[in-house]
Amino acid sequence: MVMGRFYAAATMTTSAWSSKLASRVRLTDLLVLLWVVFGTQIGWVGLDRTARGFSGSRGDIAVSYTIVSFVIVAAWMIALELFDTRSPRVLGLGTQEYRAVADSAVRLFGLVAIVAFLFKIDIGRGYILIAFPLGVLVLVFSRWMWRQWLGVMRRRGEYSSRVLLVGSEASVTVIAREFARMPEAGYRVAGACVPGSGGDHLPGTRIPVEYGVEHALAVMRDFGADTVVITSADELGPDQVRRLSWGLIPGAEHLVVAPSLIDIGGPRIHTRPVAGLPLMHVETPRFEGRKLVAKRIFDLIISFAIVVMLSPLLAVLAICVKATSPGPVFYRQVRVGLKGRPFTMLKFRSMSDGADAHLAALLARDGTDTKPLFKVQNDPRVTSIGSVLRKYSLDELPQLFNVLHGSMSLVGPRPQRSAEVELYDHAAGRRLFVQPGMTGLWQVSGRSTLSWEESVRLDLYYVENWSITGDLTILVRTFRAVILPGRSAI
């Protein structure tokens, strides 16, 4: 336990690093708002103008725009604080931070409009209509930059809460694996506390373990942790959890309860206290209704716009494919779509004509013929132009016509061959509950470097938690992956 105490002395506690991070973010927020608000004032109305009443009479209030700008900046900073946009619980991961930033701006915009109306202050419409949207955009960009930096630091083990996992061995192992998979979340496992007896480390890991959950508070401090994560409730009853929470130092030590749920998106989770019980309501995913109509409209608008903008590129690529190898320009293949219905998927041909006849032999060569994700490493069938098309995903562009037709969506699970679908288990079969997509969560999370199990997990997460906002995020990440394909593109 001496090592745990030494490490704790050399590492910032959660309260220390969260306060430091919040101060830095607060400073950049202030600089952003000063730049946006005063920049808008100078560009729109100048420095010396005043905002007068609507009637223009001498009795109306006259306020300098500079004072108005200072008031807006101060009020905006207060709103960002009140909406908890700098809390360590939201910084660095998820969409809650961005939503809170936008929500605070909308509420402040409404308040400014009401005050201006009540006091008859004629603030320039353009000044307001430029400053607020521009402020939100630059604030979000600033927070995104902080998020990139924080992700790097957390992958190094810094700016993270050191946690003690308390619960059954099985639940502790699952949560430890999830924390290790996503260090950007800011939880670094210092040790585990489980019932029973055993070795010095959690089986299959290098995580030190102590036995006897009734001593969790002392074990947490011995390991140099400042956060207790309860991974299962069977080992600790309500009274034990309450006594454990009473023993924590307020503001310096923290308690987290992890339910037996994984891969559930935040918008589906709602907490509701009932008679002192923190009940968690989890909405079941819906695969029909207005959301699907909105998704279809979104697909039509975006795909049509992309086809119009990229039509010269599509023509050039078609000529290159035809000129560099014999065979048709387009590769047509039957894939399995929504609810198991087959459809013909279009791609620019990136392989030699008749390449499908050699697929079985190549899969057998690589030993991957029993896995549903039919990928051939160092595929000899790929043409010279095909390797370029594949690296930058240009061969996928004709699928925009599948999206317009309605057989595919812009974002969704990757459509697969019927032979691959026949190898699905029950869980993988849920991929067919939504429209297949040109791109998806697993494509922007590693593409060919992911195993079949990891790909299924990411696709199932999308199926259970998809939203228009999520689709936009995936499309942006797809654009970045196409521009900078890296080693995962084949």
Q: 16-53 pLDDT, tens per residue? A: 888 899 999 999 999 999 999 998 888 876 655 554 44
Task: Specify the amino acid at residue 235.
Answer: E
The pLDDT value recorded for residue 354 is 65
pLDDT over 70, % of the chain: 82
Q: Count the alpha carbons within 13 Å of 135 in the hemisphere toward its beta carbon.
A: 32
Q: DSSP per residue over 243-282, as a string?
A: HHHHHSPTTTSEEEE--S--S--GGGEEEEEETTEEEEEE
End-to-end CA distance of the chain: 48
Predicted pLDDT at 362: 58
User: Which of 367 and 337 is assigned the larger pLDDT?
Assistant: 337
Q: Quick one: pLDDT at residue 94?
A: 77
Cβ(338)–Cβ(418) under 8 Å?
no
Q: What is the pTM of this model?
A: 0.69
**223 dihedral zone (left: phi>0; alpha: psi -120 to 50; beta):** alpha
pLDDT tens digits, one per residue of 102-153: 999 999 998 888 887 787 766 777 778 888 999 999 999 999 999 999 999 9
pLDDT score recorded for residue 55:
44
Element (H, E) at 163: strand 161-166
Domains and CATH numbers, the chain: 12-155 (no CATH), 160-260 (3.40.50.720), 290-488 (no CATH)
Q: Which long-range contacts link 329-332 to residues 24+ away (Cβ below 8 Å)?
A: 330/398, 331/395
| pLDDT of amino acid 371 | 56
Angstrom distance (rounded) from CA 458 to CA 411 = 13
Which pLDDT score, from 0 to 100, does residue 300 have?
Answer: 95
- Asked if residues 68 and 42 have their Cβ atoms less than 8 Å apart, the reply is no
pLDDT of res. 7: 40
Residue 207: is its pLDDT beyond 70?
Answer: yes
Task: Kindly tell me if the per-residue pLDDT of 165 is higher than 80.
Answer: yes
Give the pLDDT confidence of 301-330 residue by residue, as tens digits.
Answer: 999 999 999 999 999 999 998 888 888 889
Instruction: Give the pLDDT band (50/70/90) at residue 377.
Output: low
Q: Which helix (H) or strand (E) holds 330?
A: strand 330-336
Please say if the pLDDT value at position 360 is more than 50. yes
pLDDT of residue 441: 85
468: its two tokens: 């228009």
d(CA 444, CA 283): 26
Is the pLDDT score of 285 beyond 90?
Answer: no
pLDDT at 486 over 80: no
Look at the block and give the residue holding tokens 């699928």.
399
Q: How far is CA 376 from the centre of its chain?
A: 30
Least confident of 148-157, 422-431, 467-476: 422-431
* Cβ contact 163:228 at 8 Å: yes
**Residue 254 scores a pLDDT above 70:** yes
Distances (CA, A) of 367 to 342, 361, 363, 371, 387: 27, 10, 6, 9, 23
Per the CB < 8 A criterion, the answer to whether 29 and 77 are in contact is yes
Residue 397 pLDDT level (bands cut at 50, 70, 90): very high
